[in-house]
Amino acid sequence: MDDASPSKWHLAHTSWFFETFVLEVHNSNYSAFDPDYRVLFNSYYNSVGEQYSRPHRGLLTRPSLEEVYSYRDHIDYHMSIIFDQNPDRGLLETIEIGLHHEQQHQELLLMDIKHLFSCNPLSPEYMAQTETPKRVAKTLRFHDFPGGNVQIGAEGEAFSFDNERPCHPQILREYALASRPITNFEFLEFIQDGAYGNPLLWLADGWATLRKFSWEAPMYWRKIENKWFEFTLTGLHELVLQAPVVHISYYEADAYARWANARLPTEVEWESAARDSSTTGNFVENLYLQPQPSDDKKSHLTQLFGDVWEWTMSPYIPYPGYQAPIGAIGEYNGKFMSGQVVLRGGCCVTPADHIRKTYRNFFYPANRWQFGGIRLAR
């Protein structure tokens, strides 16, 4: 798939980041492991130079995995020298971005492996299934939130990406959010009601997209002998009806919300509602690698964090007063603020200490291979 990269490329690219933005800039005695890697493992930094075509990364049989690990060892060794030299605050901030960048690729690794394995008719497992809790999602409820002047975005000394800043005021009208994400059972009702064949439910681009790709269900659903199954990182399993629906596009989330006489939340509504919530949830460390049914022990919102990235209806655009960092690092987020939609909350393959209440993820509305799901608003 054009959007996916081989695991080997992810391993090399995350080290390339430190080589390009730290070692080559701040160590005059540094010698590149292989000068050709500057192009081969450059993702999208045009100011750094040329890049190898993303859709063709899967054709790269060389360098070998062993060579990639040697490259990573080389970078780690020279980074240790940097740390011994007591780097200044500016350099440490670049290194910190690199660490969070690697966490993003840890999630991308699992997204890409899942897609690759799903193309194999043997439905291979990435890892054995962990025993999962048996829960029944409780009846969906809507919780009201007041309007008013709210502060949105990151502030303070803790790490945040530039697209989360600056903290700024926003005016909210009164709104309501659903108590939990939409489940597979609820989305199955949407399918059974003929929603994928009803153009009145879909945005024009969404209708054109589903017809182009013949979508009839979420990305990894499989209908076998009139029974629904779902491909997961632990193989092919019968669909867990009580678990949150996942791997749907913005178009599908928007159509479902319209069918349910609701809408998707704005990212301002989502962040404001999440302000008093804990950021604990089903993240990659749990090793479920799949959304789990809500435990619903709270009387308020559940599963805001972990399980599924929740589509909002907000375009990915800069906050008022946004400034991209100076230099090539400025290409990290800012240049993608066009044609994409914001998702919030993290998912079951996100590292737990990577997520924040202000974290803005973003994908194109037709993307489905990320772990995207639905929380309704009104």
Q: What is the pLDDT of residue 264?
A: 98
Average pLDDT over residues 110-115: 98
Residue 43 · residue 53 · CB < 8 Å = no
Per-residue pLDDT at 130: 85
Q: Are 302 and 291 in contact (CB under 8 A)?
A: no
Whether residue 131 lies inside any domain: the answer is no
Mean pLDDT across 217-243: 97
Structure tokens belonging to residue 237: 């399993």
Residue 283 falls within a domain, yes or no? yes
123 touches 293 (CB < 8 A): no
Check whether 298 has a pLDDT greater than 80: no
Average pLDDT over residues 264-285: 96
Beta strands at 309-315 and 227-232: parallel, antiparallel or unpaired = unpaired
Q: Span 191-206, mean pLDDT? A: 98
Shared domain for 364 and 264, answered yes or no, is yes
* Structure tokens, 176: 């309501």
135 found inside a domain: no
229 and 171 within one domain: yes
3-state secondary structure (DSSP) of residue 192? helix
Same-domain check for residues 82 and 158: no
Who's near 329: CB < 8 A, 6+ residues apart? 21, 94, 97
Give 69's contacts (C-beta < 8 A, 6+ positions apart): 11
Flag whether pLDDT at 299 surpasses 70: no
Indicate whether 213 and 155 sit together in one domain: yes
Range of the domain at 98: 7-118
CA distance 221 to 22: 43
Output phi, psi for 292, to 5 deg.
-115, 150
Is the pLDDT score of 332 beyond 90? no
pLDDT grade for 101, boundaries at 50, 70 and 90: very high
| Last-in-domain residue among 86, 118, 150 | 118
Average pLDDT of the residues of the chain? 95
**Mean pLDDT of all residues in 281-285:** 97
Q: Does residue 9 surpass a pLDDT of 90?
A: yes
> What is the mean predicted confidence (pLDDT) over 56-72?
96
246 lies in the same domain as 347: yes
Asked, for residue 189, whether it belongs to a domain, the answer is yes
Inside any domain, residue 311? yes
Q: Are residues 161 and 210 in the same domain?
A: yes
For residue 169, being part of any structural domain is answered with yes
The average pLDDT across 181-195 equals: 98
What is the spatial distance between Cα 69 and Cα 88, in angstroms, rounded to a whole number?
28
205 and 74 inside one domain: no
How far, in whole angstroms, is CA 93 from its chain's centroid?
Answer: 23
Question: Does 240 share its domain with 278?
Answer: yes
Q: Do 190 and 276 fall within a single domain?
A: yes
**Which domain CATH number covers 332?**
3.90.1580.10
Closest alpha carbon to 254 in 206, 192, 216: 206
Specify if 38 maps to a domain: yes
Cβ neighbors of 24 (< 8 A, separation 6 or more) are 30, 32
Query: In whole angstroms, what is the distance from residue 23 CA to residue 319 CA?
Result: 32
Residue 378 lies in a domain: no
| Range with the poorest average pLDDT among 28-37, 249-258, 363-372 | 28-37
What pLDDT is recorded for position 135?
A: 86
* Number of domains within the chain: 2
Place of tokens 């780690």: 76
Phi then psi dihedrals of residue 137, to 5 deg: -65, 130
Are 106 and 146 members of one domain? no
In this prediction, residue 291 carries a pLDDT of 97
Structure tokens at 229: 């199954």
* 113, 161: one domain: no
The pair of structure tokens assigned to 188 is: 């199955």
In sequence order, what are the residues at sequence separation of 6 or more whose Cβ sits closer than 8 angstroms to the Cβ of residue 190? Answer: 255, 256, 259, 260
Residues 242 and 151 in one domain: yes
Give all strands of the β-sheet with 227-232 in edge-to-edge order.
Answer: 221-224, 227-232, 235-238
Biggest alpha carbon–alpha carbon distance for the chain: 66
Rounded percentage of the chain residues whose pLDDT exceeds 90: 89
